[in-house]
Amino acid sequence: MADSPQVVIVGGGAAGFFAAITCAEKNPAARVTLFEATAHPLAKVRVSGGGRCNVTHACFDPRELVKRYPRGGRELLGPFHRWQPRDTVAWFAERGVELKTESDGRMFPVTDSSETIVDCLRQAAEKAGVKVVTSMGVRSALGRPPPRPGVAPLPPLFALTLTDGGALNCDRLLLATGGNRSSAGLTIAQGLGHAIEPPVPSLFTFHVDDPRIDGISGVSVENTVTTVRSLKLRDSGPLLVTHWGLSGPAILKLSAWGARELAAVNYEFTLGVNFTPAHTRESLVRALGAVRTTNPRKQLGTWCPLELPQRLWEKLLAAAKIPPTTLWTNVSNDTLGSLAAQIVTAEFKVVGKSMNKEEFVTCGGVRLSEVDFKTMESRLCPGLHFAGEVLDIDGITGGFNFQSAWTTGWLAGQAMAGTD
């Protein structure tokens, strides 16, 4: 490849920008053009983390880091030894953006504003000489075969057709368009010979219509265990009651690990919730029995002896058919058993899903066995690279999807620069 390669990036998200910047910084002679089909590049970065942008996660051991990826963990082990969260933190720090670590390990800019990250990426791209073209996508790509021994090469390697009908040639092509079903990148990859694992949603919330959570939207429980026994799924963490059902990390992680299985049952299944994971049903009955002994004259409705929100406690009492004015001394062992069951082995009928706010993560994409994870280059089509969620890679909530975008984008950018 020439010392000044023509490089085209398809997709103006985190992975696309990071690859473009990396390529242009490593080889200033490279002519790097990034195409974003919409008028709003880095839109997902802007809305992520509730507008704060969960940049990465404070997990600095690649062997532990890969455990946060339901798909792609094995393939990411090598890449994370080359570019991991510590490198991401340093990269942003070198450009004047300091990150902070929250108690659960998530890392955000100290400004608590995603605009800080968006501005940093756009400024870095501009400084590096990346040409960013918005409201313009790539419709198709025709790959030229690599030269045979003894035969002069036929540059350029790719002939592109843009969404306005225009044409463009390039030496290197990166697809970083995300992984949803309408992704142009998946269409282009398939046209160039790649197999696509069918995209299905990941990181979604559950639709539940149940009197135990009706009218208590916003209530959260800090520590829960969630299960889908029929699919052998289990996870833990905070749980949030919403207007439409259940959300929070305990739900989102479960949805990620079970993305394909939950899609296969059309998002209709029974969800188990333990609101007090330190207890089994039997141990909770004993604990509540001790409460009955030590606080006989207190009313159940006005005093909850567990670390549960009062409004949820009242709902669980109602589900166990216990009037709120009941004194602890008047609660039978059978009634304690019913209450314990509502707390430890609650079951909810899930009848659908919703995306997590405005964020969209998919399970599925370009088949990983067809990609060289040292360079993110196609094993089938020389000069074609991939980064981000266009690949069959997705992580749980907590900054892991952005980290895989930074890592794969950096590796692709390094390779496309062509200076080695």
User: Nearest to residue 71, comparing CAs of 224, 200, 166?
Assistant: 200
Over residues 363-379, the pLDDT tens digits come to: 999 999 999 999 999 99
- The CB-side HSE value for 378 (13 A sphere, CA atoms) comes to 24
Over residues 1-46, the pLDDT tens digits come to: 457 899 999 999 999 999 999 999 999 999 999 999 999 999 999 9
Specify the pLDDT at position 1: 46
Specify the pLDDT at position 154: 59
| Phi–psi pair at 106, nearest 5 degrees | -65, 145
Cα 110-132-194 angle, rounded to 5 deg? 100
Write b or e for each residue in 163-189: b if 16 or more Cβ atoms lie within 10 A of its Cβ, otherwise e.
eeeeebebbbbbbbbbbbeebbbbbbb
If you average pLDDT over residues 381-399, what whole number do you get? 96
Write b or e for each residue in 386-401: b if 16 or more Cβ atoms lie within 10 A of its Cβ, otherwise e.
bbbbbbbbbbbbbbbb
The answer to whether the CB of 138 falls within 8 A of the CB of 154 is no
- At position 399, the amino acid (one-letter code) is G
Domains and CATH numbers, the chain: 6-200+358-417 (3.50.50.60), 204-355 (no CATH)
Specify the pLDDT at position 36: 97
Return the beta strands (E) in 122-171 as ranges. 131-134, 138-143, 158-162, 167-170
Q: How confident is the model at residue 361 (pLDDT cuts 50, 70, 90)?
A: confident
The answer to whether the CB of 159 falls within 8 A of the CB of 169 is yes
- DSSP type of residue 115: H
pTM of this structure: 0.91
If you average pLDDT over residues 113-126, what whole number do you get? 98
| CB-based burial label for 289 (10 Å; 0-12, 13-18, 19+) | middle
Q: How confident is the model at residue 149 (pLDDT cuts 50, 70, 90)?
A: confident
Angle between helices 281-294 and 333-344 (to 10 degrees): 130
Write out the two tokens for 254. Answer: 């479960």
